[in-house]
Structure 1
Amino acid sequence: MKSIIFLIMMLVMPSVVLAAQEPTDRVKLGVADIIGIASDSTLSLEQKKQSLSDVIEKHVDLQASAQRVLGKYWRQATDTEKRQFMVLLKGVLVDTYIVLLEKYDNQTVDYTSESIKKKVYATVDTEIHTKENIIPVSYQLYQRNNEWKIYDFVAEGLSMIRTFSKDYQSTLKKSGVTGLNEALAAKSAQK
Protein backbone atom coordinates (compact mmCIF):
# COMPACT_ATOMS: atom_id res chain seq x y z
CA MET A 1 0.00 0.00 0.00
CA LYS A 2 2.81 2.43 0.87
CA SER A 3 4.47 1.81 -2.49
CA ILE A 4 1.24 2.66 -4.35
CA ILE A 5 0.89 5.92 -2.39
CA PHE A 6 4.54 6.74 -3.11
CA LEU A 7 4.02 6.02 -6.84
CA ILE A 8 0.94 8.27 -6.96
CA MET A 9 2.86 11.05 -5.19
CA MET A 10 5.73 10.75 -7.67
CA LEU A 11 3.33 11.04 -10.59
CA VAL A 12 1.59 14.06 -9.08
CA MET A 13 4.76 15.90 -7.96
CA PRO A 14 5.92 17.09 -11.40
CA SER A 15 2.62 18.91 -11.96
CA VAL A 16 2.82 20.48 -8.49
CA VAL A 17 6.38 21.64 -9.15
CA LEU A 18 5.36 23.05 -12.52
CA ALA A 19 2.45 24.99 -11.02
CA ALA A 20 4.60 26.39 -8.22
CA GLN A 21 7.50 27.52 -10.40
CA GLU A 22 9.06 30.89 -9.74
CA PRO A 23 8.30 33.98 -11.87
CA THR A 24 11.74 33.94 -13.52
CA ASP A 25 11.19 30.31 -14.54
CA ARG A 26 7.94 31.30 -16.27
CA VAL A 27 9.63 34.13 -18.17
CA LYS A 28 12.55 31.88 -19.16
CA LEU A 29 10.14 29.27 -20.53
CA GLY A 30 8.18 31.90 -22.46
CA VAL A 31 11.29 33.52 -23.91
CA ALA A 32 12.69 30.09 -24.87
CA ASP A 33 9.42 29.21 -26.61
CA ILE A 34 9.43 32.48 -28.57
CA ILE A 35 13.10 32.13 -29.54
CA GLY A 36 12.33 28.58 -30.66
CA ILE A 37 9.65 29.87 -33.00
CA ALA A 38 11.84 32.73 -34.26
CA SER A 39 14.77 30.45 -35.03
CA ASP A 40 12.74 27.71 -36.76
CA SER A 41 13.12 28.52 -40.46
CA THR A 42 10.90 25.58 -41.45
CA LEU A 43 7.75 27.25 -40.09
CA SER A 44 5.50 29.20 -42.45
CA LEU A 45 4.09 32.56 -41.34
CA GLU A 46 0.76 30.93 -40.44
CA GLN A 47 2.52 28.20 -38.47
CA LYS A 48 4.51 30.83 -36.59
CA LYS A 49 1.30 32.72 -35.80
CA GLN A 50 -0.35 29.54 -34.51
CA SER A 51 2.72 28.68 -32.43
CA LEU A 52 2.75 32.22 -31.00
CA SER A 53 -0.92 31.93 -30.15
CA ASP A 54 -0.18 28.70 -28.26
CA VAL A 55 2.76 30.31 -26.42
CA ILE A 56 0.62 33.29 -25.41
CA GLU A 57 -2.11 30.97 -24.18
CA LYS A 58 0.46 29.07 -22.11
CA HIS A 59 2.45 31.97 -20.60
CA VAL A 60 0.19 35.06 -20.56
CA ASP A 61 -2.67 35.80 -18.19
CA LEU A 62 -5.02 37.25 -20.81
CA GLN A 63 -7.65 38.12 -18.22
CA ALA A 64 -5.19 40.16 -16.14
CA SER A 65 -3.91 41.88 -19.29
CA ALA A 66 -7.42 42.61 -20.57
CA GLN A 67 -8.52 44.00 -17.20
CA ARG A 68 -5.61 46.42 -17.15
CA VAL A 69 -6.02 47.47 -20.78
CA LEU A 70 -9.73 48.19 -20.37
CA GLY A 71 -9.48 49.69 -16.87
CA LYS A 72 -12.87 50.88 -15.64
CA TYR A 73 -14.54 49.57 -18.80
CA TRP A 74 -13.76 45.99 -17.72
CA ARG A 75 -16.21 46.29 -14.82
CA GLN A 76 -18.90 47.66 -17.13
CA ALA A 77 -18.48 44.96 -19.79
CA THR A 78 -20.63 41.86 -20.05
CA ASP A 79 -19.03 38.43 -19.72
CA THR A 80 -19.42 37.94 -23.47
CA GLU A 81 -17.69 41.26 -24.21
CA LYS A 82 -14.85 40.34 -21.84
CA ARG A 83 -14.32 36.92 -23.45
CA GLN A 84 -14.41 38.44 -26.93
CA PHE A 85 -11.93 41.14 -25.95
CA MET A 86 -9.52 38.55 -24.52
CA VAL A 87 -9.62 36.60 -27.81
CA LEU A 88 -9.05 39.80 -29.80
CA LEU A 89 -6.25 40.92 -27.46
CA LYS A 90 -4.51 37.58 -27.99
CA GLY A 91 -4.70 38.26 -31.74
CA VAL A 92 -3.17 41.71 -31.25
CA LEU A 93 -0.35 40.14 -29.22
CA VAL A 94 0.28 37.56 -31.95
CA ASP A 95 0.43 40.34 -34.57
CA THR A 96 2.79 42.36 -32.36
CA TYR A 97 5.14 39.45 -31.66
CA ILE A 98 5.19 38.22 -35.26
CA VAL A 99 6.75 41.56 -36.26
CA LEU A 100 9.33 41.22 -33.47
CA LEU A 101 10.16 37.67 -34.58
CA GLU A 102 11.14 38.98 -38.00
CA LYS A 103 13.78 41.15 -36.27
CA TYR A 104 15.25 38.27 -34.27
CA ASP A 105 18.99 37.95 -34.91
CA ASN A 106 20.36 35.61 -32.23
CA GLN A 107 19.96 38.14 -29.43
CA THR A 108 20.63 36.80 -25.95
CA VAL A 109 18.70 37.44 -22.75
CA ASP A 110 20.13 37.90 -19.26
CA TYR A 111 17.79 37.57 -16.28
CA THR A 112 18.97 40.24 -13.84
CA SER A 113 16.46 40.31 -10.95
CA GLU A 114 13.15 39.14 -9.58
CA SER A 115 10.91 40.76 -6.99
CA ILE A 116 7.61 39.53 -5.55
CA LYS A 117 5.00 41.76 -3.90
CA LYS A 118 2.01 40.64 -1.86
CA LYS A 119 2.78 37.03 -2.89
CA VAL A 120 0.82 37.40 -6.16
CA TYR A 121 2.62 40.16 -8.12
CA ALA A 122 6.12 39.81 -9.51
CA THR A 123 8.57 41.67 -11.70
CA VAL A 124 11.32 39.91 -13.62
CA ASP A 125 13.97 42.23 -15.05
CA THR A 126 15.95 41.15 -18.09
CA GLU A 127 18.41 42.60 -20.54
CA ILE A 128 18.29 41.76 -24.23
CA HIS A 129 21.75 41.91 -25.75
CA THR A 130 21.80 42.88 -29.42
CA LYS A 131 24.86 43.47 -31.58
CA GLU A 132 24.56 47.23 -30.98
CA ASN A 133 23.18 47.67 -27.46
CA ILE A 134 21.46 46.32 -24.37
CA ILE A 135 17.68 46.72 -24.07
CA PRO A 136 16.13 46.49 -20.59
CA VAL A 137 12.83 44.59 -20.49
CA SER A 138 10.74 44.02 -17.37
CA TYR A 139 8.01 41.39 -17.24
CA GLN A 140 5.05 41.85 -14.88
CA LEU A 141 3.49 38.63 -13.62
CA TYR A 142 0.43 37.67 -11.63
CA GLN A 143 -0.10 34.45 -9.71
CA ARG A 144 -3.53 32.88 -10.18
CA ASN A 145 -4.37 29.34 -9.04
CA ASN A 146 -0.78 28.89 -7.85
CA GLU A 147 0.61 29.60 -11.34
CA TRP A 148 2.66 32.61 -12.42
CA LYS A 149 1.75 34.15 -15.78
CA ILE A 150 2.86 37.30 -17.57
CA TYR A 151 0.35 40.12 -17.91
CA ASP A 152 2.58 42.99 -19.11
CA PHE A 153 6.08 43.77 -20.24
CA VAL A 154 7.92 47.06 -20.24
CA ALA A 155 10.59 47.57 -22.91
CA GLU A 156 12.73 50.70 -22.77
CA GLY A 157 10.19 52.32 -20.47
CA LEU A 158 7.14 51.53 -22.64
CA SER A 159 4.46 49.32 -21.09
CA MET A 160 2.50 47.14 -23.50
CA ILE A 161 -0.61 47.49 -21.31
CA ARG A 162 -0.40 51.27 -21.01
CA THR A 163 0.26 51.61 -24.74
CA PHE A 164 -2.77 49.50 -25.70
CA SER A 165 -4.92 51.23 -23.07
CA LYS A 166 -3.96 54.66 -24.39
CA ASP A 167 -4.54 53.59 -28.02
CA TYR A 168 -8.02 52.24 -27.20
CA GLN A 169 -9.27 55.07 -24.94
CA SER A 170 -11.02 57.16 -27.58
CA THR A 171 -12.91 54.14 -28.96
CA LEU A 172 -13.86 53.02 -25.45
CA LYS A 173 -15.17 56.50 -24.59
CA LYS A 174 -17.24 56.67 -27.79
CA SER A 175 -18.48 53.09 -28.13
CA GLY A 176 -17.55 51.10 -25.04
CA VAL A 177 -16.13 47.59 -25.12
CA THR A 178 -18.59 46.52 -27.83
CA GLY A 179 -17.29 49.23 -30.16
CA LEU A 180 -13.67 48.40 -29.39
CA ASN A 181 -14.31 44.71 -30.03
CA GLU A 182 -15.94 45.55 -33.35
CA ALA A 183 -13.02 47.79 -34.36
CA LEU A 184 -10.41 45.18 -33.40
CA ALA A 185 -12.33 42.42 -35.20
CA ALA A 186 -12.58 44.57 -38.34
CA LYS A 187 -8.86 45.34 -38.22
CA SER A 188 -8.05 41.66 -37.73
CA ALA A 189 -10.24 40.69 -40.70
CA GLN A 190 -8.20 42.98 -42.98
CA LYS A 191 -5.01 40.94 -42.36
Structure 2
Amino acid sequence: MNKRKMISSICCGVILLIFISPFLWAAEDPGTLVMETIDRGLAVLKDPSLKGTEKAHTRRQQLWEEISPIFNFEEMSKRALGQYWKKRSPEEKKEFVELFTIILKDAYIGKTDTYSGEKIVFVKEKQDEKDYASVQTKIITNTGSVVLVEYRMQSNSGKWKIYDVVIEGVSLVNNYRSQFNNILMKSSYEELVQKIKGKNDKEKT
Protein backbone atom coordinates (compact mmCIF):
# COMPACT_ATOMS: atom_id res chain seq x y z
CA MET A 1 0.00 0.00 0.00
CA ASN A 2 1.53 3.38 -0.96
CA LYS A 3 1.75 6.25 1.50
CA ARG A 4 -1.19 8.19 0.03
CA LYS A 5 -3.53 5.22 0.36
CA MET A 6 -2.21 4.43 3.82
CA ILE A 7 -2.81 8.01 4.99
CA SER A 8 -6.31 8.01 3.52
CA SER A 9 -7.21 4.69 5.10
CA ILE A 10 -5.82 5.46 8.53
CA CYS A 11 -6.74 9.11 8.88
CA CYS A 12 -10.29 8.87 7.64
CA GLY A 13 -10.88 6.54 10.54
CA VAL A 14 -8.92 8.58 13.04
CA ILE A 15 -10.97 11.67 12.26
CA LEU A 16 -13.85 9.77 13.79
CA LEU A 17 -12.01 9.23 17.05
CA ILE A 18 -12.96 12.71 18.24
CA PHE A 19 -15.79 11.93 20.63
CA ILE A 20 -17.33 14.44 23.00
CA SER A 21 -19.70 14.76 25.92
CA PRO A 22 -21.59 18.08 25.99
CA PHE A 23 -20.59 18.90 29.57
CA LEU A 24 -16.91 19.04 28.55
CA TRP A 25 -17.30 21.68 25.84
CA ALA A 26 -16.80 24.69 28.07
CA ALA A 27 -14.83 22.95 30.81
CA GLU A 28 -11.56 22.21 29.02
CA ASP A 29 -9.11 23.77 26.64
CA PRO A 30 -9.14 22.40 23.06
CA GLY A 31 -5.98 20.31 23.42
CA THR A 32 -7.09 18.52 26.56
CA LEU A 33 -10.53 18.06 25.09
CA VAL A 34 -9.22 16.45 21.91
CA MET A 35 -6.92 14.02 23.68
CA GLU A 36 -9.44 12.98 26.33
CA THR A 37 -12.12 12.42 23.72
CA ILE A 38 -9.72 10.44 21.52
CA ASP A 39 -9.30 8.07 24.46
CA ARG A 40 -13.08 7.68 24.63
CA GLY A 41 -13.19 6.97 20.92
CA LEU A 42 -10.50 4.33 21.18
CA ALA A 43 -12.43 2.68 23.98
CA VAL A 44 -15.47 2.40 21.72
CA LEU A 45 -13.45 0.93 18.86
CA LYS A 46 -11.90 -1.61 21.22
CA ASP A 47 -15.21 -2.61 22.78
CA PRO A 48 -15.50 -6.40 22.27
CA SER A 49 -19.29 -6.19 22.19
CA LEU A 50 -19.11 -3.97 19.08
CA LYS A 51 -16.64 -6.00 17.09
CA GLY A 52 -17.40 -8.14 14.06
CA THR A 53 -19.16 -7.67 10.75
CA GLU A 54 -22.54 -8.43 12.25
CA LYS A 55 -22.12 -5.49 14.65
CA ALA A 56 -20.92 -3.07 11.98
CA HIS A 57 -24.17 -1.14 11.63
CA THR A 58 -24.63 -0.78 15.38
CA ARG A 59 -21.00 0.22 15.86
CA ARG A 60 -21.08 2.84 13.11
CA GLN A 61 -24.39 4.26 14.30
CA GLN A 62 -23.05 4.58 17.82
CA LEU A 63 -19.93 6.27 16.49
CA TRP A 64 -21.96 8.79 14.52
CA GLU A 65 -24.19 9.61 17.47
CA GLU A 66 -21.09 10.34 19.52
CA ILE A 67 -19.19 12.19 16.80
CA SER A 68 -21.73 14.58 15.36
CA PRO A 69 -21.91 17.03 18.30
CA ILE A 70 -18.27 18.10 17.99
CA PHE A 71 -18.35 18.98 14.28
CA ASN A 72 -19.71 22.33 13.14
CA PHE A 73 -21.29 21.04 9.94
CA GLU A 74 -22.79 24.39 9.01
CA GLU A 75 -19.39 26.10 9.19
CA MET A 76 -17.77 23.25 7.25
CA SER A 77 -20.48 23.46 4.60
CA LYS A 78 -20.12 27.23 4.33
CA ARG A 79 -16.36 27.00 3.87
CA ALA A 80 -16.63 24.08 1.44
CA LEU A 81 -19.08 25.96 -0.79
CA GLY A 82 -16.95 29.10 -0.57
CA GLN A 83 -18.09 32.13 -2.57
CA TYR A 84 -21.26 30.37 -3.67
CA TRP A 85 -22.60 30.15 -0.10
CA LYS A 86 -23.71 33.80 0.05
CA LYS A 87 -25.84 33.39 -3.06
CA ARG A 88 -27.92 30.60 -1.55
CA SER A 89 -31.30 31.10 0.08
CA PRO A 90 -31.87 29.98 3.70
CA GLU A 91 -33.65 26.88 2.40
CA GLU A 92 -30.80 26.06 0.02
CA LYS A 93 -28.23 26.52 2.79
CA LYS A 94 -30.15 24.19 5.08
CA GLU A 95 -30.38 21.55 2.35
CA PHE A 96 -26.69 21.86 1.50
CA VAL A 97 -25.65 21.41 5.14
CA GLU A 98 -27.74 18.26 5.31
CA LEU A 99 -26.26 16.90 2.08
CA PHE A 100 -22.68 17.75 3.02
CA THR A 101 -23.15 16.13 6.43
CA ILE A 102 -24.23 12.93 4.70
CA ILE A 103 -21.13 13.09 2.49
CA LEU A 104 -18.88 13.27 5.54
CA LYS A 105 -20.77 10.54 7.34
CA ASP A 106 -20.69 8.13 4.41
CA ALA A 107 -17.07 8.95 3.59
CA TYR A 108 -15.63 8.32 7.01
CA ILE A 109 -17.91 6.18 9.18
CA GLY A 110 -16.94 2.98 7.40
CA LYS A 111 -13.23 3.81 7.72
CA THR A 112 -13.32 3.16 11.46
CA ASP A 113 -13.13 -0.53 10.58
CA THR A 114 -9.55 0.04 9.42
CA TYR A 115 -8.36 0.95 12.92
CA SER A 116 -5.76 -1.58 14.06
CA GLY A 117 -4.08 -0.18 17.14
CA GLU A 118 -2.50 3.05 15.87
CA LYS A 119 -1.32 5.44 18.60
CA ILE A 120 -2.43 9.07 18.68
CA VAL A 121 -0.05 11.51 20.37
CA PHE A 122 -0.63 15.15 21.29
CA VAL A 123 1.91 17.54 19.72
CA LYS A 124 0.75 21.05 20.59
CA GLU A 125 -2.17 23.42 20.87
CA LYS A 126 -2.24 26.92 19.46
CA GLN A 127 -4.85 29.63 19.93
CA ASP A 128 -4.35 32.39 17.37
CA GLU A 129 -7.42 34.29 18.45
CA LYS A 130 -9.86 34.08 21.32
CA ASP A 131 -12.37 31.98 19.42
CA TYR A 132 -10.04 29.91 17.20
CA ALA A 133 -7.59 27.16 18.01
CA SER A 134 -5.70 24.34 16.36
CA VAL A 135 -4.77 21.06 17.99
CA GLN A 136 -1.90 19.23 16.37
CA THR A 137 -1.52 15.49 16.83
CA LYS A 138 0.42 12.70 15.21
CA ILE A 139 -0.60 9.15 14.44
CA ILE A 140 2.03 6.49 14.91
CA THR A 141 1.19 3.41 12.85
CA ASN A 142 2.08 -0.16 13.70
CA THR A 143 4.94 0.06 11.20
CA GLY A 144 6.36 3.21 12.81
CA SER A 145 5.17 5.67 10.17
CA VAL A 146 4.01 9.07 11.40
CA VAL A 147 0.99 10.96 10.05
CA LEU A 148 0.34 14.54 11.18
CA VAL A 149 -3.28 15.51 11.84
CA GLU A 150 -4.42 19.00 12.83
CA TYR A 151 -7.89 19.77 14.15
CA ARG A 152 -9.00 23.35 13.55
CA MET A 153 -11.58 24.45 16.06
CA GLN A 154 -13.85 27.39 16.71
CA SER A 155 -15.51 28.41 19.95
CA ASN A 156 -19.13 29.46 19.79
CA SER A 157 -20.65 30.49 23.12
CA GLY A 158 -17.91 28.57 24.90
CA LYS A 159 -18.39 25.37 22.93
CA TRP A 160 -15.40 24.20 20.91
CA LYS A 161 -16.21 22.51 17.61
CA ILE A 162 -14.16 21.29 14.67
CA TYR A 163 -14.59 23.17 11.41
CA ASP A 164 -11.72 21.57 9.48
CA VAL A 165 -9.28 18.67 9.66
CA VAL A 166 -5.85 18.95 8.04
CA ILE A 167 -4.07 15.66 7.28
CA GLU A 168 -0.43 15.87 6.24
CA GLY A 169 -1.01 19.50 5.21
CA VAL A 170 -4.15 18.75 3.18
CA SER A 171 -7.32 20.49 4.35
CA LEU A 172 -10.49 18.43 4.28
CA VAL A 173 -12.65 21.50 3.66
CA ASN A 174 -10.35 22.93 0.98
CA ASN A 175 -10.32 19.60 -0.80
CA TYR A 176 -14.11 19.54 -1.04
CA ARG A 177 -14.22 23.24 -2.01
CA SER A 178 -11.90 22.52 -4.91
CA GLN A 179 -14.15 19.68 -6.06
CA PHE A 180 -17.30 21.80 -5.76
CA ASN A 181 -15.68 24.76 -7.54
CA ASN A 182 -14.66 22.56 -10.45
CA ILE A 183 -18.27 21.49 -10.87
CA LEU A 184 -19.76 24.97 -10.40
CA MET A 185 -17.43 26.48 -13.00
CA LYS A 186 -19.07 24.25 -15.60
CA SER A 187 -22.52 23.60 -14.14
CA SER A 188 -25.25 25.28 -12.13
CA TYR A 189 -25.71 25.03 -8.38
CA GLU A 190 -28.80 22.91 -8.96
CA GLU A 191 -26.70 20.43 -10.96
CA LEU A 192 -24.16 20.26 -8.12
CA VAL A 193 -26.93 19.42 -5.67
CA GLN A 194 -28.21 16.68 -7.96
CA LYS A 195 -24.70 15.22 -8.26
CA ILE A 196 -24.36 15.16 -4.48
CA LYS A 197 -27.77 13.57 -4.05
CA GLY A 198 -26.89 10.95 -6.64
CA LYS A 199 -23.63 10.16 -4.87
CA ASN A 200 -25.36 9.94 -1.50
CA ASP A 201 -28.05 7.65 -2.90
CA LYS A 202 -25.36 5.45 -4.45
CA GLU A 203 -23.58 5.13 -1.11
CA LYS A 204 -26.77 3.82 0.47
CA THR A 205 -27.05 0.92 -2.00
TM-score calculated relative to the size of structure 2: 0.76
Q: Distance in 2 between matches of 1:109 and 1:35?
A: 10
Identical positions, percent: 26
The residue that corresponds to 2:159 in the other structure is: 147
Give me the CA root mean square deviation: 2.1
C-alpha contact (below 8 Å) 1:107/1:129 kept by paired residues = yes
Q: Distance in 1 between matches of 2:126 and 2:133?
A: 5
Cα separation, partners in 2 of 1:80 and 1:65, compared to 1, 3 Å: same
Letter paired with 1:151: Y
The residue that corresponds to 1:48 in the other structure is: 59
Q: Distance in 2 between matches of 1:115 and 1:166?
A: 27
Q: Distance in 2 between matches of 1:175 and 1:41?
A: 48
Residue 22 (str. 1) matches residue 29 (str. 2) = yes
Shift in Å at residue 16 of structure 1? Answer: 7.2
Paired residues for 1:1-191 under 5 Å: 18-40=25-47, 42-43=49-50, 44-132=55-143, 133-173=145-185, 174-176=187-189, 178-191=190-203
Question: Which 5+ residue runs of structure 1 have no aligned equivalent?
Answer: 1-14
Letter paired with 2:202: Q
Matched residue count:
176
C-alpha contact (below 8 Å) 2:64/2:109 kept by paired residues = no
Q: Distance in 2 between matches of 1:81 and 1:48?
A: 32
- Indicate the SS of the match to 1:50: helix
**Deviations 1:133-190 (Å, cap 9, x if unpaired)?**
11111110011121110111111121111111111212233122x3323221211111
Cα separation, partners in 2 of 1:41 and 1:186, compared to 1, 3 Å: farther
Q: Distance in 1 between matches of 2:134 and 2:66?
A: 19
Q: Distance in 2 between matches of 1:115 and 1:25?
A: 12
Q: Distance in 2 between matches of 1:155 and 1:149?
A: 17
Shift in Å at residue 18 of structure 1? Answer: 3.9
Q: Distance in 1 between matches of 2:23 and 2:115?
A: 34
Q: Distance in 2 between matches of 1:51 and 1:107?
A: 21
Question: Which 5+ residue runs of structure 2 have no aligned equivalent?
Answer: 1-21
- Indicate the SS of the match to 2:35: helix
Shift in Å at residue 64 of structure 1? Answer: 1.4
4+ runs deviating over 6 angstroms:
none
TM-score calculated relative to the size of structure 1: 0.81
Flag the structure with larger Rg. Answer: 1
